[in-house]
Chains A and B, each alone.
Chain A
């Protein structure tokens, strides 16, 4: 006992910093902190010395200078007289649009391929296995180049649509043309225009805004209808018939508004050496979109397959024992549980799509890397600032996607008592 109290009462010795577990972690952290700070100071010192040697400084004012280059796909008002920061926004929006459409289509393709790979049908499951292995084991860059080559080498030139006996023809009742320059699709025009609104960078027709507002209102109306139907089912046991009401709520106001505003399709027409009118989608965009869709779709297919296989067989047997039909077993029992397994890796696939849009460099799609990290960087010679801004932008996009998807993931997670 005397020994014990002696050791406890003994004063602090320097060797305890290393041998006593209570103090050792603090020692290690302090040493670590010093090393990190020394490293950081060394890097900053080097950077400053290098900048001074080259006669440069860190200055972001170039963002307000005239950009002086054209961007072939722009979602906001941009000319070559616009400043560099608008070019940055244009590139950012192009990245986001590509990522968003690729995420949606990759999910659709992936879920279909994953479910079909588990099908009893021998030939389709083997076909899907071949698709998944093909795309997972060959680099994305190669797929982008191959698909871009298909689009530019195999599709006809606009020239071939001309003449009395053309060698190429348009699709879908002469409304779509796929050429080696890009695809021409019909677009919607309004004969009764309600004017334009200028939102700073963006000029939007009031007609489109009205349509968007109607769609949002319809979706809310549809959800309210479903809620009231569920409430009726809870109280009475009978589910009221809702399908025609839902269709009416979802599409009725939209169609009425479109008729009222005089909506009509504008078809692409061959004029001279090229098509005009309609919506023009560049091959670079289509190639990136298809490649990202098919490549990530293969990964999502494996995630979906693993998720479905992770649900124990007892679950579907229990559902059958309760008298549920196979379709309802899938939608009410298997999928909600599989979703919990699928969701976290699916989020990281969405992040991968967003990051992989930077490969657009290979086909010349004007994304964030091509505007801010490409032409702006080369024109202004401000590598440090441009790369920092670009990395920061990607980082913020990634954090926003993973943050919002994690919120959704938490909402579907199993709540244990």
Chain B
């Protein structure tokens, strides 16, 4: 058909013209500029304003960063080198970085917190990434005890005896499982607690006398800087997730008593600032404990921070449960699963998946909130920055220290939020 057509109608073109290049304002950088920066009067104003802001910021900070001094022992030495020009004196970071990171930890054993940090990365790798061999989870399980021993030191027998408590609990569980599952769980918990309360102390001191495997003991008040932030942050994160899930299940329970106590606890914790809880930990906790008890301030802070973020996590997870379709509950019931099996196999995995962003936001908030411990006298990085400023060599230095601390926090928190985005993408099952 087309052949006959082209022959009868002589002016129909039978070959394509070569393509012309688009108009010059529709290609490349010019088009991008027109579309993205200058598409209308409002956009032009916004672009000019933003360029002005960037210019002012660069103008203010650029020269200061470019003229930075890294080799100086004091602020006055820095100022001499700078000779009146504006410039950062990062000499303070070079001089005091060990203090900002380790606090007053004995310098000859810095390898211990460093090793703990590296081992922590190894321990969380199998939890964070599915590609890592599953057998490494065994290492993750014993890591908390190992980290405790490495950071605080003392005899290893204490750590081993605490770990043995879990073995005792497991043995009790296996023995009692023939009777009933419920008894097995209760028996395991009771056996573990009894072991810790009555047997582990004497046993560890006995063993320590026979074979003293001990390393130098470090007191809590010698810890400081980012070491203490990471200890509080990571312990709080690890402990608050299970506690938060339990609280959330309690809040949704059919049992009125459990429900109202959970609601009361969550609303109370969410209604008061963390700082008042920390002051309670440092001022009031001694009132609530038997006379004469005095336990570690760091432990009290960790407990308070854990309770605080557990209440927030409970609410986040509740949001995840609320987003589950009703059919999921009914399907679990129809399969004949009991409460715990339905939660463990069907409901919790989905609810947790939905609430990943909220949970990670709570974790980031918790890690940032570790800075508040400065108010009860724990030397976190911010507390150490004022301690460094109290030294006559570095009196008056502000921006360099704050900048360094801010950068470290930014790296930690930003990587957490990136990981949550990665996890969300990986667990996404809807094919939209």
Taking beta carbons and an 8 Å cutoff, which residues of A are in contact with B? 18, 25, 28-29, 32-33, 36, 43, 46-47, 49-51, 53, 116, 119-124, 127, 133-134, 136-142, 145-146, 149, 153, 351, 355-356, 358-359, 361-362, 369, 373, 383-384, 387, 390-391, 394-395, 398-399
If A32-B258, A46-B287 touch, whether A356 touches B413 (CB-CB below 8 Å) is no
Q: Which of B287, B398, B406 contacts A51 (CB 8 A)?
A: B287
Asked if B47 and A121 sit within 8 Å, CB to CB, the answer is: yes
How far is B256's CA from A146's CA once the two chains are assembled, in angstroms?
A: 48
- Is the Cβ of B288 less than 8 Å from the Cβ of A46? yes
Decide if A137 touches B36 in the complex (CB within 8 Å): no
Instruction: Give A335 Cβ to nearest chain B Cβ, in Å.
Output: 18
Residues of B within 8 A of A50 (CB): 286-287, 291
Q: Given A138-B368, A139-B369, A140-B368 in contact, is the A25-B46 Cβ separation under 8 Å? A: no
- Neighbouring B residues of A356 by C-beta, 8 Å: 273
Q: How far is the CA of A50 from the CA of B417 in the complex (A)?
A: 45
B residues sitting closer than 8 Å to A (CB atoms) are: 35-37, 39, 43, 46-47, 49-51, 53-54, 182, 254-258, 261, 267-268, 270-276, 279-280, 283-284, 286-291, 364, 368-369, 371-372, 374-375, 382, 398-399, 402, 405-406, 409-410, 413-414, 417
Q: How near does chain B come to A26, taking the closest CB pair, in angstroms?
A: 8
Given contacts A134-B410, A139-B369, A142-B371, contact A369 B275 (CB under 8 A): yes
Is the CB–CB distance between B290 and A139 below 8 Å? no
Quick one: given A395-B272, A398-B271, are A120 and B39 in contact (CB under 8 Å)?
yes
**Which chain A residues border B283 with CB–CB below 8 Å?**
383, 387
Residues of A within 8 A of B382 (CB): 141-142, 145
The chain A residue sitting closest to B375, CB to CB, is A361
- B36, B53, B290, B374: the one contacting A122 at CB < 8 Å is B36
Is A358 touching B273 in the complex (CB atoms < 8 A)? yes
| B417 & A137 in contact (Cβ 8 Å cutoff) | yes
Contact A359 B182 (CB under 8 A): no
Assess whether B255 is in contact with A46, with CB atoms less than 8 Å apart.
Answer: no
Residues of A within 8 A of B258 (CB): 28-29, 32
B402–A399 CB distance below 8 A? no
Beyond A36-B261, A121-B36, A149-B398, whether A142 also contacts B276 by CB under 8 A is no
Q: Name which residue of chain B comes closest to A133, CB basis.
A: B414
Contact in complex: B402, A146 (CB < 8 Å):
yes
B275 touches A142 (CB 8 A): no
CB pair B406 A142 closer than 8 Å: yes
Q: Which residue of B lies closest to A54 (CB)?
A: B287
Question: A110 CB to closest chain B CB, in angstroms?
Answer: 16
In the complex, which residues of chain A have a beta carbon less than 8 angstroms from the beta carbon of B53?
A: 127
Instruction: Report the separation of the CA atoms of residues A63 and B410 in the bound assembly, to the nearest whole angstrom.
Output: 44
Residue of B nearest to A48 (CB): B287
Would you give the shortest CB distance from B385 to chain A, in whole angstroms? 8
> Chain B binding site: helix, strand, loop or mixed by DSSP?
helix
- Is the pair A49, B291 in contact by a Cβ cutoff of 8 Å? yes
With A29-B256, A142-B409, A384-B287 given, can you name 8 additional A-B contacts, CB distance below 8 Å?
Answer: A29-B257, A123-B37, A142-B402, A146-B406, A356-B273, A369-B273, A369-B276, A394-B273
Q: Tell me how far the C-beta of B386 lies from the nearest C-beta in chain A, rounded to whole angstroms.
A: 9
Which of B257, B270, B279 is packed against the most chain A CB atoms within 10 Å?
Answer: B279
Q: Are B36 and A138 within 8 A (Cβ)? A: no
Across the interface, name the chain A residue whose C-beta is closest to B183. Answer: A18
Once the chains bind, are B413 and A138 in contact (CB under 8 Å)? yes
Given contacts A127-B54, A383-B283, A394-B272, contact A137 B47 (CB under 8 A): no
- Complex interface: chain B residues within 8 A of A391 (CB): 272, 276, 280
Residues of B with C-beta under 8 A to A141: 371-372, 374, 382
* CB-nearest residue of chain B to A354: B273
Q: How far is the CA of A387 from the CA of B279 in the complex (A)?
A: 8
A120 touching B257 in the complex, CB below 8 Å, given contacts A137-B364, A373-B276, A373-B279: no
Q: How far is the CA of A137 from the CA of B374 in the complex (A)?
A: 19
A398 touches B410 (CB 8 A): no
| Residue of B37, B276, B368, B375 touching A139 (CB-CB under 8 A) | B368
Instruction: Kindly report which residue of chain A lies nearest to residue B407, judged by CB atoms.
Output: A138
Choose from B290, B364, B402, B406 the contact partner of A149 (Cβ within 8 Å): B402
Contact A138/B406 with A29-B255, A33-B257 known, Cβ cut-off 8 Å:
yes
Q: B399 — nearest CB in chain A belongs to which residue? A: A149
CB distance from A300 to the nearest CB of B (A): 14
A361 and B257 in contact, given A46-B291, A50-B286, A145-B402 (Cβ under 8 angstroms)? no
* B276 CB contacts on chain A under 8 angstroms: 358, 369, 373, 387, 390-391, 394
Given A32-B258, A139-B369, A387-B280, A122 and B37 touching (CB < 8 A)?
yes
- A408 CA / B100 CA spacing, docked (Å): 47
In angstroms, Cα B385 to Cα A146, docked, is 12
A383: contacting residue among B284, B291, B410, CB under 8 A: B284
Partner among B257, B288, B291, B409 whose Cβ is within 8 Å of the Cβ of A53 = B291
10 A-B contact pairs sorted by A residue (CB < 8 Å): A29-B257, A32-B261, A46-B288, A50-B287, A120-B35, A134-B410, A138-B368, A149-B402, A361-B275, A387-B279
**4 tightest A-B contacts by CB?**
A137-B413, A398-B271, A139-B368, A355-B273
